């Protein structure tokens, strides 16, 4: 019994070393009790429905992590309440690295602000690496009368332009409401079911434009195929894979809440450091793996690995942005 445990421990520290070597650390890899992690299967809670963009990319990364960590990873969808159901289940789990979560910043931050006590808040997550990101874009149909952002906003000032958004408490919803209030616009947001439903409504002509995240599953492929046209992005810097699409900031709409949706893998805050180190190392190998990058999607998978600390920083800044708008 004892010998087999040591064997597993040695295997795990080898993985740990391999994972950490590229970060330049790896000094804390020892032979202590905790370094035998992982000794059993790990579950990853995804607080959104199966088949969504967050879910699909998490599954890609999970199958890579399985190989890196040598243990089965079970992805569980616990949807509902804009992420509150799954994230609160995660917040009740032990801080041992065997229950992880893959959540968007919005689902981590918004329910506690909007609903009050949901059993977790932004400090319940210790990110170990970013999985994907999708800037919010303003898109129109191919035959739209608005061919650029200037036309659109000129009309939106005085007319009731209908803009589809993917849900009442989504990132785009909060961003667009701030935009309308700040600029005193006459446009009207209409909530649909997710990106799929929103883009479908745009294509069928029910709405004049859509304000959705440029995810790899629904929005980006249609922008690339020319079915819909992106006329602005709601982030501060130009998006590399959407060149020539102006940012709202460059159009003079600044101080908008964070509208760059991103999702990350996280463990509980009190997780032992060697465990988070192992996870972060495995995440780095996976997220820099070209195959994983391709499956998650060009433009969706971060070009360079965003480690736990950087993801945590982005999460904190998103939390401050949302709190400022909503309070």
167 binds other proteins (CB under 8 A): yes
169 binds other proteins (CB under 8 A): yes
d(CA 118, CA 114): 10
d(CA 267, CA 102): 9
Q: Which of 19, 111, 129, 277 binds other proteins (CB under 8 A)?
A: 111
Q: Which of 18, 95, 180, 190 binds other proteins (CB under 8 A)?
A: 190
On whether the CB atoms of residues 105 and 132 are closer than 8 A, the answer is no
- Output the smallest distance, CB 50 to other proteins, in A: 4
On whether the CB atoms of residues 174 and 326 are closer than 8 A, the answer is yes
100 binds other proteins (CB under 8 A): no
310 binds other proteins (CB under 8 A): no
206 binds other proteins (CB under 8 A): yes
Q: Which is nearer to other proteins, 24 or 116 (CB)?
A: 116
Nearest 10 degrees: Cα torsion 158, 164, 169, 174: -40
192 binds other proteins (CB under 8 A): yes
Tokens 């849900």 map to which residue? 167
| Segment contacting other proteins by CB under 8 A, of 22-30, 65-73, 162-170, 225-233 | 162-170
On whether the CB atoms of residues 59 and 75 are closer than 8 A, the answer is yes
Q: Which is nearer to other proteins, 16 or 173 (CB)?
A: 173
Q: Which of 18, 85, 180, 251 binds other proteins (CB under 8 A)?
A: 85
Q: Which is nearer to other proteins, 181 or 313 (CB)?
A: 181
As a whole number of Å, the CA-based R_g of the chain is 21
Q: Which is nearer to other proteins, 76 or 96 (CB)?
A: 76
- Output the smallest distance, CB 79 to other proteins, in A: 6
Packing angle between helix 84-91 and helix 105-115, nearest 10 degrees?
A: 90
Q: Which of 80, 145, 150, 154 binds other proteins (CB under 8 A)?
A: 80
Q: Which of 6, 7, 23, 50 binds other proteins (CB under 8 A)?
A: 50
Q: Which is nearer to other proteins, 56 or 275 (CB)?
A: 56
Q: Which of 2, 4, 40, 117 binds other proteins (CB under 8 A)?
A: 117
201 binds other proteins (CB under 8 A): yes
Give the three-state DSSP class for 63.
helix
94 binds other proteins (CB under 8 A): no
Alpha helices in the chain (DSSP H): 2-21, 53-69, 84-91, 105-115, 149-158, 171-183, 194-203, 219-225, 273-287, 290-296, 308-326
d(CA 302, CA 284): 11
Closest CA to 157 of 177, 181, 183, 128: 183
d(CA 125, CA 112): 13
Closest CA to 182 of 157, 162, 203: 157
CA 38 to chain centre: 25
Instruction: Mark residues 207-246: x for contact with other proteins by CB under 8 A, - for none.
Output: x---------------------------------------
Q: Residue 132: enclosing H or E segment and its boundaries?
A: strand 126-140
Q: Which of 139, 173, 199, 300 binds other proteins (CB under 8 A)?
A: 173
Q: Which of 33, 39, 94, 115 binds other proteins (CB under 8 A)?
A: 115
- Output the smallest distance, CB 82 to other proteins, in A: 7
The residues that touch other proteins, with contacts defined as CB under 8 A, are 49-51, 76, 78-82, 84-85, 88-89, 111, 114-119, 160, 162, 167-169, 173, 188, 190-193, 201, 204, 206-207
């Amino acid at each position: 019994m004892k010998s087999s445990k040591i064997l597993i421990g040695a295997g795990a520290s080898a993985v740990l070393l391999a994972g950490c070597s590229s970060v330049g650390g790896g000094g804390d890899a020892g032979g202590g009790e905790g370094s035998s992690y992982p000794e059993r299967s790990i579950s990853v809670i995804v607080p959104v429905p199966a088949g969504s963009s967050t879910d699909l990319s998490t599954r890609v990364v999970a199958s890579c992590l399985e190989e890196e960590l040598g243990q089965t990873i079970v992805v569980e969808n616990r949807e509902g309440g804009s992420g509150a159901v799954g994230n609160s289940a995660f917040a009740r789990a032990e801080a041992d690295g065997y229950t992880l979560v893959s959540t968007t910043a919005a689902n981590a931050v918004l329910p506690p602000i909007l609903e009050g006590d949901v059993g977790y808040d932004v400090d319940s997550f210790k990110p170990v690496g970013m999985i994907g990101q999708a800037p919010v874009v303003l898109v129109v149909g191919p035959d739209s009368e608005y061919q650029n952002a200037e036309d659109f906003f000129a009309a939106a000032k005085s007319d009731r332009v209908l803009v589809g958004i993917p849900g009442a408490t989504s990132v785009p919803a909060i961003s667009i409401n701030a935009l309308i209030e700040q600029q005193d616009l006459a446009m009207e947001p209409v909530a649909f079911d997710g990106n799929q439903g929103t883009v479908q409504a745009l294509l069928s002509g029910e709405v004049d434009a859509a304000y959705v995240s440029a995810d790899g599953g629904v929005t980006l492929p249609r922008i690339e195929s020319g079915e819909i046209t992106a006329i602005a992005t709601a982030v501060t810097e130009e998006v590399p894979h959407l060149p020539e699409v102006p940012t709202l900031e460059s159009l003079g709409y600044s101080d908008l809440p964070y509208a760059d949706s991103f999702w990350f893998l996280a463990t509980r805050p009190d997780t032992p450091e060697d465990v988070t180190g192992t996870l972060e190392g495995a995440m780095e190998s996976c997220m820099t793996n070209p195959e994983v990058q391709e499956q998650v999607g060009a433009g969706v998978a971060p070009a360079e690995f965003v480690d736990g600390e950087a993801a945590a920083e982005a999460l904190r800044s998103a939390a401050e942005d949302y709190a400022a708008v909503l309070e």
